[in-house]
């Protein structure tokens, strides 16, 4: 039986959960500003095409990936809250350098994006781990679904506000706003209690010790979903422009609002007795979204794709993390979360540049068709015996 010290922990302080949610929403609003603005920054300041746009988004993923195997150790060693504040500070500084770096060239911009990814790696693992440890066990799914929902509050607000600010005032104003939002997140993080268990004795061992096997299994299952999410956000602006739809900001807003509404009601679904069916349904929705993008002739199917993608991603990532939390002891959770996110980063950092190359070679239709194949492979993997031995797939076997 997996023991959980949160069984004995009193309810969190009154402001703890609101602070956690506000930090999450503010950080992801800042990140969302780049979805419509970064492709234009790359094309206008560096002269790059789809391949270079993919590289700019992938550089953030590489920054995330470099630190992921070590973030679990760092989070256990120095504390969850310190990790959150250190990460947001790094992200805030890097945001202010995006425009000056792009004016020098593509590679300095990639360096700034890489630095932001490193900060985001530290920040997210700390936040996600706190979200599983802060509530009492009976409230874990509800609080975590709220936490996961806040990412889409940010992704709904960030692209819309960022696009409006960019069109009115330019790149400098858009990324000054992005940096300012992360500074706010850093200040609010003071109100989040540190949930690091007192009996955890972190150690820095070999790479096989840093990457938890359960997290690795589940990270592979989540990889195609994250790749579809990054591809949607990275290329929806140029794809919409190519179709003459001119609706990218509203497509991104539709995605964010749809995902938010679904995640706010996701707790019963995440606790459904057969989580395998939930995961397969989520991937089917992501695959249909890619199909809508591949066959779009105008704005209508772009909006359909946004809703379908939201229908899959509203459940997929929080489901995978909760399966991991319910399959491992509490002392290993930070390492499991960091391993899952490492796999996500590996897929996005390697996959998005490839998607950009495919888009340059075959067009966006071929690129989104490639995503359909990736989703089908992930669905077969979820059904395999390699994953079905994890207890967290059956909620009646969840151990607290």
Residue 303: pLDDT above 90? yes
Confidence band for 9, pLDDT divided at 50, 70 and 90: low
DSSP states of 320-365 as a string? HHHHHHTTS-GGGHHHHHHHHHHHHHHHHHHHHHHHHHHHHHH-HH
Least confident of 141-150, 277-286, 294-303: 141-150
Question: What 3-state DSSP class applies to 244?
Answer: coil
Q: Does domain 14-195+207-397 have CATH number 1.20.120.1200?
A: no
Residue 396: pLDDT above 70? no
Please compute the mean of the pLDDT values over residues 244-263 and round it to a whole number.
88
| Tokens at 391, concatenated | 């207890």
Inter-residue long-range contacts of 298-305, CB under 8 Å, 24+ positions, other chains counted: 298/243, 298/244, 298/245, 299/240, 299/243, 299/245, 299/246, 299/247, 299/251, 302/236, 302/239, 302/240, 302/243, 302/245, 302/247, 302/251, 303/247, 303/250, 303/251, 303/254, 305/232, 305/251
Question: What 3-state DSSP class applies to 259?
Answer: helix
**103-128: pLDDT as tens digits:** 999 999 999 999 999 999 888 888 88
Residue listed under structure tokens 């409230």:
139
Question: What 3-state DSSP class applies to 274?
Answer: strand
Confidence band for 363, pLDDT divided at 50, 70 and 90: very high
Least confident of 204-218, 235-249, 263-277, 344-358: 204-218
Residue 362: pLDDT above 70? yes
Strand-pairing partners, residue 274, are 394
| DSSP-assigned letter for residue 394 | B
Is the pTM of the predicted complex or chain greater than 0.85?
Answer: no
Please compute the mean of the pLDDT values over residues 36-41 and round it to a whole number.
94
Question: Domain limits of the chain?
Answer: 14-195+207-397
**184-208: pLDDT as tens digits:** 999 999 888 877 666 666 555 555 5
Q: Which residues contact 177 (CB under 8 A, 6 or more apart)?
A: 30, 33, 161, 162, 165
Strand-pairing partners, residue 394, are 274
**Proportion of the chain above pLDDT 70, given as a percent:** 88
């Amino acid at each position: 039986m997996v023991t959980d010290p949160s069984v004995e922990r009193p309810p969190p302080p009154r402001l703890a959960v609101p602070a956690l949610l506000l930090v999450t929403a503010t950080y992801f609003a800042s990140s969302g500003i780049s979805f419509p603005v970064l492709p234009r920054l790359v094309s206008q300041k560096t002269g790059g095409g789809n391949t270079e746009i993919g590289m700019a988004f992938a550089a953030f993923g590489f920054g995330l990936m470099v630190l992921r195997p070590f973030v679990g150790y760092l989070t256990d060693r120095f504390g969850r809250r310190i990790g959150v504040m250190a990460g947001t500070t790094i992200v805030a500084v890097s945001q202010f350098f995006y425009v000056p770096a792009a004016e020098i060239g593509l590679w300095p911009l990639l360096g700034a994006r890489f630095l932001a990814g490193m900060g985001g790696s530290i920040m997210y693992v700390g936040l996600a781990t706190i979200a599983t440890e802060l509530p009492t066990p009976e409230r874990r799914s509800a609080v975590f679904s709220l936490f996961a929902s806040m990412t889409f509050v940010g992704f709904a607000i960030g692209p819309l506000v960022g696009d409006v600010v960019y069109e009115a005032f330019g790149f400098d104003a858009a990324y000054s706003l992005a940096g300012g939002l992360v500074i706010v997140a850093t200040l609010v993080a003071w109100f989040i209690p540190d949930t690091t268990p007192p009996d955890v004795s972190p150690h820095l061992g070999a790479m096989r010790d840093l990457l938890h096997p359960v997290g690795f299994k589940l990270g592979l299952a989540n990889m195609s979903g994250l790749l579809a999410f990054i591809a949607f956000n990275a290329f929806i602006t140029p794809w919409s422009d190519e179709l003459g739809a001119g609706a990218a900001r509203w497509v991104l807003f539709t995605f964010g609002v749809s995902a938010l509404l679904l995640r706010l009601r996701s707790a019963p679904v995440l606790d459904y007795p057969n989580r395998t069916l939930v995961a397969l349904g989520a991937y089917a929705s992501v695959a249909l979204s890619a199909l809508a993008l591949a066959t779009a002739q105008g704005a209508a199917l772009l909006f359909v794709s946004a809703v379908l993608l939201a229908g899959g991603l509203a459940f997929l990532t929080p489901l995978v993390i909760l399966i991991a939390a319910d399959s491992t002891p509490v002392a290993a959770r930070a390492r499991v979360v960091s391993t899952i996110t490492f796999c996500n980063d590996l897929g996005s950092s390697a996959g998005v540049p490839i998607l950009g190359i495919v888009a340059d070679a075959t067009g966006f239709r071929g690129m989104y068709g490639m995503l359909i194949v990736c989703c089908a492979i992930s669905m077969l993997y979820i059904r395999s015996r390699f994953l079905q031995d994890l207890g967290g797939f059956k909620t009646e076997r969840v151990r607290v």
